[in-house]
Structure 1
Amino acid sequence: MLNSHIPPRLEDAVCLTEAECILIDPRADGDTLFEQAEMRLEAVSNLMLSLCQLDTPGASADARDLANVAIASRILLADASDLFLVARKTVNRQKAPAKWGARHG
């Protein structure tokens, strides 16, 4: 069979969260997905650092600022989680044919 591996379509993209949704291209490789997840974790880390620095003299944040940071963090963490799950599946799927061939080849 020449077409035993049909490339995934964009219509088959993954959305795992219920509310906000990141559209994950099923054609993306594992390294790209892991990189994107790590970028979102770094963004949340930076938000938390900024929040900690509001404790310094002269800095202030109101309830709206805190709510905005919390919402942004929740969305970024959900995206990172979805990306890590899909990246792990992608990497496992890419490894599977090599393992099968080694056992049955």
Structure 2
Amino acid sequence: RVGEVYNVGGHNEMRNIDIVKLICKELGKPESLIHHVTDRKGHDRRYAIDPTKIHNELGWLPETKFADGIKKTIQWYLDHEDWWQPIISGEYQNYYQKMYGDRG
């Protein structure tokens, strides 16, 4: 309905650390790479979206399970290094500074 807000989720509440461990496993990396940091104010330890409303009102259900979706997402990033490499190389930051840096 126009003006309504719908939460889209898959009824699969997970702790952040469990998602990080899943990513490490999928990449074949050891969990020893995980470094815990001091929590910031308002830090989210987990994300829990209740999609009941979208299901009840619109009949929407997820087509992809989280475990399958995260694997597909990881594979996409592995297959598209040309998309993310400029972001971590500093090239994106340089472009951003050039285009928007003097707008105070």
TM-score by structure 2 length? 0.25
Q: Which has the higher helix share?
A: 1
- Determine which structure has more spread, i.e. the larger CA radius of gyration: 1
TM-score by structure 1 length? 0.25
